[in-house]
Structure 1
C-alpha cells in the first residue's frame, strides 16, 4: 500500500516504511536526499538526520509518515527538481545492495524511487497547471 494525497509530492510503500522504522531503531531519526546521479546513480539516499547537511539549493519535497513520532523529510537539489517538478515520487524498497553512503546498504535491501506524472488536481495544487 502507498500513502499519498493531492498535497504531497512524495509517498512511501509499506515495505519501505517498515525498513525505515527498523533503520530508525538503529540509527535514530532519518532523512532522504534524492541523489542526482554520479557514484550511486539516481537513488534515494537515507541518512541519519544531521549526517547530510542540506543547503539553500536543496528543495524539501515533503515528508513521509512511516508510523514514528516524526515524519521523515525528503529533499532534492534545486537543479534536479527542475526536471522532476511534474512528478510524484514514491519511495520503495527491493532486494539488492544499497547505495554505499545510504544506511540501508548492509541490510540486503535498497531504496528506490518510483515515479509518475502528477495528475491534474496535483498540478493545480502545486501551481503547475495551465494558466487561463
Structure 2
C-alpha cells in the first residue's frame, strides 16, 4: 500500500459511524469492501466478516469505527490519490450489504489528498 501521505486513506462521517454502530449491534464482526461498480454501483459494501473472502490483491485502506475497509488492487491504483469519506444517506443499500433494508445506505465520497472537494464516486 502507498503510504506517501500521513492522512488516513478512509474516514467516516459521524452519521456513518452511528449507522455502523447500529449494524454492529446485529453483526459484531463485519468488514467493508469498496464495490468496483458492478451490480451495486460504487457503494461501500458491508458484510459479515465470515461471509466475505478478502482477495489476494485487495488492499486494506484502514479502518472506520474499528471495522476494516478494503478495496480491490486495480481500483486502488485508480483512486490512490484520493481519500475515501464514508457517509450515510437515505435509500436502500446494496443487495448483499448489511445496510440493505434499513432505509439508509452507505455512500462513498472522495477528495484529493492535500485538498479538494468531497464528491460521490461515479455511479454512487
| Deviation larger for 47-56 or 77-86 | 47-56
**Higher Rg of the two aligned structures:** 1
- Unaligned 5+ segments in structure 2 are 116-124
Give yes or no for the alignment of 1:83 onto 2:78: yes
Q: Structure 2-normalised TM-score?
A: 0.85
Q: Which runs of 4+ in 1 moved over 3 A?
A: none
1:113 to 108, 112, 123: 108
Aligned partner of 2:25 in structure 1 is: 25
Aligned partner of 2:36 in structure 1 is: 36
Q: Give 1:51 shift.
A: 1.1
* Matched pairs, number: 111
Aligned partner of residue 105 in structure 1, secondary structure: coil
Deviations 1:67-101 (A, max 9, x none): xxxx1110000011110000000110000011101
Aligned partner of residue 40 in structure 1, secondary structure: coil
Q: Give 1:27 shift.
A: 1.4
Q: Give 1:8 shift.
A: 1.1
Q: Distance in 2 between matches of 1:116 and 1:6?
A: 15
Give yes or no for the alignment of 1:94 onto 2:89: yes
Q: Give 1:49 shift.
A: 1.2
Q: Distance in 1 between matches of 2:86 and 2:50?
A: 20
Aligned partner of 2:8 in structure 1 is: 8
Q: Distance in 1 between matches of 2:40 and 2:101?
A: 15
Q: Give 1:48 shift.
A: 1.2
Q: Give 1:28 shift.
A: 1.7
- Kindly report the root-mean-square deviation, in angstroms, between the aligned alpha carbons of the 2 structures: 1.4
Aligned partner of residue 39 in structure 2, secondary structure: helix
* Higher-helix-fraction structure: 1
Q: Give 1:6 shift.
A: 3.3
Aligned partner of residue 46 in structure 2, secondary structure: strand
